[in-house]
Chains A and B, each alone.
Chain A
Amino acid sequence: MMGKTTNTNYVIKVLWPPHCQNRGPKVLEERADIVKEMNGMRSKIENFLKASCSGHFKVSDEYDMKGFNVGFEQGPDVYNFVLEQATIGYEVDREIGRYNIFSDKYIKHKLLYTAKGIVIG
């Protein structure tokens, strides 16, 4: 999980498409098509965030076999981002990191989709 950067109160992971997940660096060196798809997805998400977020956000460029982290300043932006998964065509991990003012750390919570909205478990 990324460390606390200015204005990042929430961290959520966007999953790579299934066929791009769990690919080690060696495989990625040989599969330019997959790398292109991963980079394309990252750009698409970044563009969507630029258009939809009212607060600060940060797309992490650290390599992860499962997906990439996105940090948000404002809760409503995160909520909207989770809601729009199906519309825009991405999937977020079922876990969210929320910055805790007392421990100065991100605490992970499980996301729950309920009839009354998205909450944590």
Chain B
Amino acid sequence: MKKHNYITVLGRNNVRMPLDELHEYGLIVSVCNKHLDSQYLDYVWTREEKDLLWFLQQRPSPVHCVTTPDLYKKYVFYDQVHSFPPISPQFNLTLDVNTDEQTLALLTALGLTEKRIILVGFDISSPKVLKDLRSVIILHPDMKFYFLCNPPKTKQLDYCSNAECILFKDIEKLK
């Protein structure tokens, strides 16, 4: 599969931009959020079977879902259901049932893009999420990460040279 240049990851917080506008900045990968307009979602990370089925039943077309190995075993014959490949030991993350779904959505995006990831509505109030986000950023020095937020800009990613905090009002410069 040809990798995409740009991908946007939607986190758990409210997304303050219309998805159709956001889609102009690249494919959209999201955590499981049924309130979003599914026609603009390209991939969703889902952990629960009922959520997986919900996204597969969306019309006009099902949303591609990335899910757990257990659910993948059952839904392997569904073309829109995907799973991570076995994770390389050099990858410094432990994925388990406690891994935050935002981190998993971010890993989904990492597997599909090669240049830039925009994080929108990404909730970094949890120390574990923030630690995982920093690990991912540091482990991928060739990828550029943009963290979108409202003022004030977060300082949490300041020491990551390949990450930058951008205000929503300035998103145009990422076009």
- Chain A residues packing against B (C-beta within 8 Å): 9-10, 73-76, 78-79, 96, 98-105, 107, 109, 118-121
A47 to B85, CA, bound (A): 34
Q: Which residue of A lies closest to B77 (CB)?
A: A75
Contact B111 A102 (CB under 8 A): yes
Q: List 14 A-B contacts (CB under 8 A).
A: A73-B79, A75-B76, A75-B79, A101-B1, A102-B82, A102-B84, A102-B108, A102-B111, A103-B111, A109-B76, A119-B76, A120-B72, A120-B76, A121-B73
Task: How many A-B residue pairs have C-beta atoms within 8 angstroms? Tell me.
Answer: 42
Contact A118 B79 (CB under 8 A): no
- Chain B residues packing against A (C-beta within 8 Å): 1, 72-74, 76-79, 82-85, 108, 111-112
Q: Which residue of B lies closest to A114 (CB)?
A: B74
A118 to B1, CA, bound (A): 26
Contact B112 A102 (CB under 8 A): yes
Contact B77 A118 (CB under 8 A): yes
Contact B85 A100 (CB under 8 A): yes
Contact A102 B77 (CB under 8 A): no
Contact B74 A119 (CB under 8 A): yes
A121 to B1, CA, bound (A): 25
Contact A98 B76 (CB under 8 A): yes
Q: Which residue of B lies closest to A111 (CB)?
A: B76
With a cutoff of 8 Å between Cβ atoms, the chain B residues found around residue A73 in the complex are 79
Contact B85 A107 (CB under 8 A): yes
A101 to B79, CA, bound (A): 11
A50 to B48, CA, bound (A): 36
Contact A101 B111 (CB under 8 A): yes
